Structure 1
């Protein structure tokens, strides 16, 4: 099965426009051949299929938008958990507090790298592996402090906050990997090609019916589909998830360490 995520957005747009143009011309050719049979019911059929296409577009758009919002919420949750862990790290005894803050600063830098415009599965996997290394160091640091003095309240709270940081990484990675299923996109394109082909058929059946309205509708549908693909891609395109909460978290930790912003 074709993986839509493996194609560029411009490539998908051009392929959609070409497919819709071919559907219009093929439908128009069939309509001209069937012109003698009359086209009384073509308008009804066009309306029904276009209504089905509108329903399918709305359904697919809602799926892509919900995934986009999930990614935005994941960034906010992860940034909040990192800031909470950094605040609790300041309560740890020296020099463990500086060590924990340094590790959290490095960890936040890796999480910020996920805002790259071209986020590939390989780069995401590499970022997760680097994050896991720092997670292990933070966890060993917390466990070491707990073994030294298990009555320290800050240490227990710090370990608990690390669990939230680790859980939020899993949630964010899952959100980044979540896409509209390809079978849904195949269904959307199948209905779109059929609907636009019927527009071409109608323009061929009716005498003196120009192609322009069918091409305008096809172009608009292709642009809407491009928007759906853009929302569904966290690492490329024109619509991006704001990384401001993570940037502010990195600045806050740098300030606690006395580093320049």
Structure 2
């Protein structure tokens, strides 16, 4: 069964607008068919549902923002760890120094590609498998370097940096897969549809048609929910993770290799 994250943002935007405007039109139709009269009870219920929607959207936005920040911090930590491993790899015995730096350069390129394809891309598994292979090769090189030079400095420091780099891959992959649960999205959409339905109902009581204020509310609610979708997808839309720390680390490694 497809999940919310599987749909493109443009499809989600179009579907959300149609869903909310359709809910408002259903409210208008229901008001006319029942020939309902205005009253404070309907207005009170409408206000209560809008308040519930605002609460849900606020909590969900905070959830999406915290996940986005966790991904940003994971990227920065991994870039720093890879850079440290590359610096310390230069100090281990030859020929493992040059071989390890070359593997780290390929590894950081893979990490950037993994970030670009996103957690649901078909190529993700192959890229992660190649990353794991490079990690194993680097570890084997480190063990051979330790056999030649078992001193804590520099071999031991390099092994520690390499271990941190390997651990941070798991951390970053977990952060990229940490999306807002489907049940939260379903709850927001359900409450939003109810709110829009009551908005259409109340508008029909006052003007006998769907007012511009109801349409404006539908678009505003859609905009806020789409902002949550955008934050929840670091590789799509307008809000993307800045890959500059990884690019800077890759550039420093490339400069050393050319030198």
TM-score, normalization by structure 2: 0.94
1:76 aligns with 2:76: yes
1:117 Cα deviation from its structure 2 partner: 6.0
**Kept after mapping to 1: 8 A contact 2:42/2:202:** yes
**Kept after mapping to 1: 8 A contact 2:93/2:149:** no
CA RMSD of aligned residues (A): 1.7
1:151 Cα deviation from its structure 2 partner: 3.0
Alignment correspondent of 2:164 = 164
**Structure 1 residues 249 and 36: CA distance shift in structure 2, 3 A:** closer
**Divergent runs of 4+, >6 A:** none
Alignment correspondent of 1:185 = 185
Alignment correspondent of 1:3 = 3
Alignment correspondent of 1:111 = 111
Q: How does 1:88-107 map to 2 (within 5 A)?
A: 88-107=88-107
Alignment correspondent of 1:39 = 39
Alignment size in residue pairs? 259
1:15 aligns with 2:15: yes
Distance (Å, rounded) in 1 between the aligned partners of 2:30 and 2:91:
77
Q: How does 1:26-65 map to 2 (within 5 A)?
A: 26-65=26-65
1:8 Cα deviation from its structure 2 partner: 0.9
Residue segments in structure 2 that go unaligned for 5+ positions in a row:
none
Q: How does 1:100-139 map to 2 (within 5 A)?
A: 100-116=100-116, 120-139=120-139
1:119 Cα deviation from its structure 2 partner: 5.8
Alignment correspondent of 1:176 = 176
Residue segments in structure 1 that go unaligned for 5+ positions in a row:
none
**Kept after mapping to 2: 8 A contact 1:30/1:204:** no
**Kept after mapping to 2: 8 A contact 1:39/1:205:** no
SS at the partner of 1:111? helix
